[in-house]
Amino acid sequence: MYYYDIYVCFNDNYVSVYNWDSSLVERILKLRVVRVEDIKVYLEYDLSIDCKDEIVLLSDTINAIVVDIKDKRIVGISSLKLSDEDEVCKLASILPITSINLEIKKHKDLKYKNSCDNTKKKIFESSVQNGSDDYIKYLYNYVFNKNSSNIGVMKKKLLKDIDTNFGESYLNLYKIIYK
* Confidence at residue 2, expressed as pLDDT on a 0 to 100 scale: 94
109-147: pLDDT as tens digits? 665 444 566 677 777 888 888 888 998 898 899 888 888
CA distance 151 to 126: 15
Q: Tell me: do 94 and 66 sit in the same domain.
A: yes
pTM of the model: 0.64
| Confidence check: pLDDT of 65 > 70 | yes
The alpha carbons of the chain give a radius of gyration, in whole angstroms, of 18
Tell me the DSSP string of 106-174.
Answer: EE---SSTTHHHHHHHHHHHHHHHH--HHHHHHHHHHHHS---S-HHHHHHHHHHHHHHH-SHHHHHHH
Q: What is the pLDDT of residue 94?
A: 95
pLDDT at 39: 87
Q: Is it the case that residue 179 has pLDDT exceeding 60?
A: no
| Sign of the Cα pseudo-torsion (35, 41, 44, 48, in order) | negative
- Per-residue pLDDT of 2-60, as tens digits, reads 999 999 999 877 887 877 888 899 999 999 999 999 888 888 888 889 888 999 999 99
Pick the last residue of a domain from 74, 107, 140: 107
Task: Give the residue, 170 or 178, on which the prediction is more confident.
Answer: 170
Q: Does residue 166 share a domain with residue 129?
A: yes
Together in a domain, 170 and 86:
no
18 shares its domain with 81: yes
Last residue of one domain, picked from the residues 74, 89, 107: 107
What's the gap between Cα 149 and its chain centre?
32
User: Is the same domain home to 67 and 130?
Assistant: no
Query: For position 178, what pLDDT does the model report?
Result: 67
Statement to judge: residues 17 and 100 lie in one domain: yes
Number of domains in the chain: 2
Q: What is the mean pLDDT of residues 58-68?
A: 91
Q: In what order do the strands lie in the sheet with 25-35?
A: 2-9, 25-35, 54-59, 64-70, 73-78, 45-49, 102-107
Are 84 and 157 in a shared domain? no
Of the three residues 107, 142, 157, the one that is the final residue of a domain is 107
Domain that includes residue 34, residue range: 2-107
| pLDDT recorded at residue 156 | 92
Going from the C-alpha of 69 to that of each of 47, 50, 160, 175, the distances in angstroms are 10, 10, 41, 29
